[in-house]
Homo-oligomer: A and B are copies of this chain.
Amino acid sequence: MALPGAGVPGGSRVGMSDRERSCQGPSIEAGSGALNKLRARRLGIDTQYEAVVFMRKDCPICRSEGFAAHTRVKLTAGPRWIMATLYQVTSNLLDDGEAGLSDSAWHRLGLRDGDDIAVSHPPPLKSLSILRGKIYGKRLEPDGIADVVADIANGRYSDIHLSSFITACAAGELDTGEIAGLTQAMVKSGRTLVWERHSVFDKHCVGGLPGNRTTPIVVAIVAANGLTMPKTSSRAITSPAGTADTMETMAPVDLDLGQMRRVVEAEGGCCVWGGAVGLSPVDDKLIRIERALEVDSVGQMVASILSKKIAAGSNHVILDVPVGPTAKVRSRQDGEALAACLTQVGEAFGLESRVILTDGSAPVGQGIGPALEARDVLAVLQGTPEAPADLRERALVLAGAILEMAETAAPGAGFAAAAATLDSGAAWKKFKGICEAQGGLRDPQHAAKTRVFVADRDGTFEAIDNRRIARVAKLAGAPDAKSAGVFLHKKPGEDAQRGEPLFTVHAESPGELDYAMRYVEENPGIVTVEPRP
Contacts and interface: CB of A to CB of B under 8 A. Distances in A.
Contacts of A45: 54, 87-91, 93
A3 B509 contact: yes
Contact of A68 (B88, B158, B161, B237): B237
Interface stretch (A73-81, A109-117, A357-365, A471-479): A471-479
Interface string A1-32: 11100001100000000000000000000111
Contacts of A34: 522
Contacts of A519: 31-32, 35, 64
A205 B121 CA distance: 27
Oligomer copy total: 2
Contacts of A475: 63-64
A293 B93 contact: no
A519 to B, nearest CB: 7
Contacts of A471: 64-66
Given A64-B471, A159-B163, A475-B63, A69 B47 contact: yes
Interface in A366-397: none
A518 B32 CA distance: 9
Nearest to A237: B68
A46 B128 CA distance: 28
Contacts of A239: 66
A22 B91 CA distance: 31
Contacts of A48: 68-70
A295 B135 contact: yes
Contact of A43 (B31, B60, B63, B93): B93
Contacts of A293: 128, 131-132, 160-161, 164
B30 A523 contact: yes
A132 B93 contact: no
A522 B9 CA distance: 14
A155 to B, nearest CB: 14
A6 to B, nearest CB: 12
A171 B134 CA distance: 8
Contacts of A171: 135-137, 167-168, 171-172
Nearest to A31: B522
Given A132-B293, A163-B167, A474-B64, A43 B91 contact: yes
Interface of A: 1-3, 8-9, 30-32, 34-35, 42-50, 52, 54, 57, 60, 63-66, 68-71, 87-93, 102-103, 128, 131-132, 135-137, 158-164, 166-168, 170-172, 237-240, 289, 292-295, 471, 474-475, 477, 480-481, 508-509, 511-512, 515-516, 518-519, 522-523
Given A64-B474, A66-B239, A160-B162, 15 more contacts: A3-B509, A3-B511, A9-B518, A30-B523, A35-B519, A44-B93, A46-B57, A46-B87, A64-B471, A87-B102, A132-B293, A135-B167, A159-B160, A160-B163, A161-B293
